[in-house]
Amino acid sequence: MPARTLPPPFHMLPITLGRWNSTSSHHRDSAMGLGLGGPPPSSPSTADPAAAASSVASRRTIPSLLFFCRHRRGGLAPSIFTCLALASTVLVILFFLQRAVDDVVARTRTVAGHNLEPTPWHPFPHSKVRPDASTVLRCSYLSCPRLRITLPSHASFDEDGDAGDSPQQQSCPAFFSSIHRDLEPWRRSGISPAMVVEAGKHAAMRVVILDGRRLYVDLYYACVQSRAMFTIWGLLQLLRRYPGMVPDVDLMFDCMDRPAISRSDYQDGRPPPPLFRYCTTKDHFDIPFPDWSFWGWPEVNVRPWDEEFRSIKLGSQAINWKRKDKTAYWKGNPYVQSPIRMALLNCNDTKKWGARIMRQDWVEESTSGFQNSNLSNQCNHRYKIYAEGFAWSVSLKYIIACGSLALIIHPQYEDFFSRGLIPKKNYWPIDPTNLCQSIKSVVNWGNNHQSQAESVGKRGQAFMEDLNMDRVYDYMYHLIVEYSKLQDFKPVPPSSAQEVCVESILCVADNQHSQFLERSYASPSSFSPCTLPPPHNDVGKS
């Protein structure tokens, strides 16, 4: 008689959890000059992954128990009451296991925006796709290695947070001195834990860096599209770029557009809460930081900065200056609560105003594979217009990179590098009060003084070429170092924060995002960061 095969013990029974396919949130941008949009998100599954996993376990476990009860083991057969008690116990365990897993899934926030509401100060449509249990556990709790990063042989870190000298060390660009100006409000008072907590009222996330190699994030709100993911990725690449050299730091970051810390609210001498974001104004204390698009913007098919700049520069060289279109060109989304962009639509007359104004529909572009939005194909005009949107626009760097004469309509906002731009040296200022006529006047001047106009455009392009990712990481490094010197406490991650790493970001990213992220990997630098210039007041104004 053939031997009977007994079922495996319960803990060896396979339980398969469904695989989650994430979808990025999509939103027509209300701030960027490039606009936003993308393919509409696919409909999320309505099935509960944790419940499905429990159901699978139940369907496999109960028949196994019945099989066990019907067959003798060692000449004995358990009673029906024993079998029922065992089955009931297993079901109760599975029920509470499902609830526990369900609770973990519901409470775990991810950089992809899961279990997060949009920022209340700038609401936007947000897709609430729920990840399955295996994704949450694997990406949020099991992905980050605990190995220490080995420092390059040259690297050192003194008590002031400065990198050791190296033969390749060079001076930073002059606009880096803006770091001193941005941090001046806390020079006397220092930065206390209470100030950081106060800044959290305006923040989308809290970032804590420890030992120059570990990064923790406490997520408060979702950011539009993949801003949070790519911003945190950029910080992780900084730790890879200068391993072990970034000091311990605790900072609040908002990834939406408009500054929030108004100078008028702190005229009584109180130090303002320190808040990092992508831009600021002369009327705000917000601390500008490199925006997410330096590491790529998958929703609009914009590549990481070094790669995109090379493509734009190559495209700008396809036609020499004399053969370029003699008109001024702008293409973007005017419907972003921007009076300047709406006024710009009235200038769309090449004969009367010398300007070609184009509306950009990113939803349509995404469905056609971005065939008409390649930035390197938009450098065929002698003049390119920059107009702010809901706030500042990431399009500034791409416009200046073209080598055309950049016509910048009097900006209210400034990002970290625009403080280094000098009027009539790197770009040409445009008066917004008589917009169309101002554009026409500069176009006429440039066409009558082609050599001078071309020189301004080339100097602007050279400025952006110098702003490669080496300099971007240097700016990030020095800003964080100087900020950390003002802290009067030792940073400790809050209990609600999670450690993130390269592996955990790639784990939660969808295929499209992963492709862009992997193209912006940073390698450890073989030389120290550039030398930060001392404070001074002669930095160019944008």
CA-to-CA distance for 246 and 240, rounded, in angstroms?
A: 10
- Return the SS3 of 253: strand
Q: What is the largest CA-CA distance in the chain?
A: 106
> What's the pLDDT band for 379 if we cut at 50, 70, 90?
very high
Domain membership of residue 269 as a residue range: 174-291+469-518
137 has a pLDDT exceeding 90? no
Report if residue 297 sits inside a domain. no
Whether residues 438 and 478 fall in one domain: no
| Per-residue pLDDT tens over the stretch 260-270 | 999 999 999 89
Whether residues 322 and 452 fall in one domain: yes
Whether residues 19 and 78 fall in one domain: yes
For residue 492, report the phi and psi dihedrals to the nearest 5 degrees: -135, 130
> What's the pLDDT band for 249 if we cut at 50, 70, 90?
very high
Report if residue 369 sits inside a domain. yes
- Of all residues in the chain, the percent with pLDDT exceeding 90 is 63
What is the CATH number for 451? 3.40.50.2000
Whether residues 435 and 367 fall in one domain: yes
Last residue of some domain: 403, 436, 466?
A: 466
Report if residue 422 sits inside a domain. yes
Report if residue 534 sits inside a domain. no
Residue ranges of alpha helices (H) inside 487-510 are 502-508
Whether residues 431 and 322 fall in one domain: yes
> Which residue has better confidence, 4 or 200?
200
Please tell me the predicted confidence (pLDDT) of residue 116: 87
Whether residues 246 and 352 fall in one domain: no
| Per-residue pLDDT tens over the stretch 459-510 | 999 999 999 999 999 999 999 999 999 999 999 999 999 999 999 999 999 9
Q: Tell me 280's DSSP state.
A: B
Please tell me the predicted confidence (pLDDT) of residue 108: 80
Residue 497 CA, distance from chain mean position: 18
Mean local confidence (pLDDT), 343-352: 97
| Per-residue pLDDT tens over the stretch 73-101 | 555 666 777 778 888 888 888 777 777 66
> Which residue has better confidence, 355 or 70?
355
> What's the pLDDT band for 143 if we cut at 50, 70, 90?
confident
> Residue 33 has which token pair?
């000059």
Whether residues 380 and 451 fall in one domain: yes
CA-to-CA distance for 272 and 293, rounded, in angstroms?
A: 28
Q: Find tokens 């709790």 and name the residue.
A: 141
> Residue 218 has which token pair?
């406490």
Whether residues 405 and 462 fall in one domain: yes
Do residues 224 and 36 touch, judged by C-beta distance below 8 A?
A: yes
144 has a pLDDT exceeding 50? yes
Mean local confidence (pLDDT), 171-192: 97
Please tell me the predicted confidence (pLDDT) of residue 500: 97
Last residue of some domain: 108, 136, 156?
A: 108
| Per-residue pLDDT tens over the stretch 37-68 | 333 333 333 334 444 445 555 556 666 656 66
- Of all residues in the chain, the percent with pLDDT exceeding 70 is 75
Please tell me the predicted confidence (pLDDT) of residue 273: 99
Whether residues 328 and 254 fall in one domain: no
Report if residue 57 sits inside a domain. yes
Please tell me the predicted confidence (pLDDT) of residue 234: 99
From 61-70, 322-331, 525-534, the region with the lowest mean pLDDT: 61-70
From 141-155, 302-316, 328-342, the region with the lowest mean pLDDT: 141-155
Please tell me the predicted confidence (pLDDT) of residue 510: 92
Report if residue 401 sits inside a domain. yes
> Which residue has better confidence, 196 or 129?
196
Please tell me the predicted confidence (pLDDT) of residue 102: 67
Mean local confidence (pLDDT), 409-424: 98
Residue ranges of alpha helices (H) inside 217-320 are 227-241, 305-316
Whether residues 314 and 460 fall in one domain: yes
* b/e 73-82 (16+ beta carbons within 10 angstroms → b): eeeeebeeee
Please tell me the predicted confidence (pLDDT) of residue 372: 67
Reference 8, options 86, 61, 54; nearest CA is: 61
Please tell me the predicted confidence (pLDDT) of residue 3: 46
* Gyration radius from the chain CA atoms: 28
Last residue of some domain: 466, 495, 527?
A: 466
36 has a pLDDT exceeding 60? no
Mean local confidence (pLDDT), 429-442: 97
Whether residues 207 and 320 fall in one domain: no
Please tell me the predicted confidence (pLDDT) of residue 394: 96
Residue 540 CA, distance from chain mean position: 27
> Residue 201 has which token pair?
């009222």
Report if residue 374 sits inside a domain. yes
From 101-115, 250-264, 306-320, 466-480, the region with the lowest mean pLDDT: 101-115
CA-to-CA distance for 130 and 494, rounded, in angstroms?
A: 24
112 has a pLDDT exceeding 70? yes
Whether residues 451 and 504 fall in one domain: no
From 136-145, 154-163, 332-341, 434-443, the region with the lowest mean pLDDT: 154-163
Strand order in the sheet with 214-219: 287-288, 275-277, 249-253, 205-210, 214-219, 498-500
Reference 250, options 477, 491, 501, 500; nearest CA is: 491
Please tell me the predicted confidence (pLDDT) of residue 70: 61
For residue 276, report the phi and psi dihedrals to the nearest 5 degrees: -90, 145
Do residues 517 and 296 touch, judged by C-beta distance below 8 A?
A: yes
> Residue 534 has which token pair?
């001392």
Query: Into how many domains does the chain fold?
Result: 3
Would you list the DSSP string of 320-374?
-GGGSEEEEEEEE--TTT-HHHHHHGGG-BTTTTSEEEEE--HHHHHHTTSTT--
Report if residue 440 sits inside a domain. yes
Mean local confidence (pLDDT), 447-459: 98
Please tell me the predicted confidence (pLDDT) of residue 442: 98
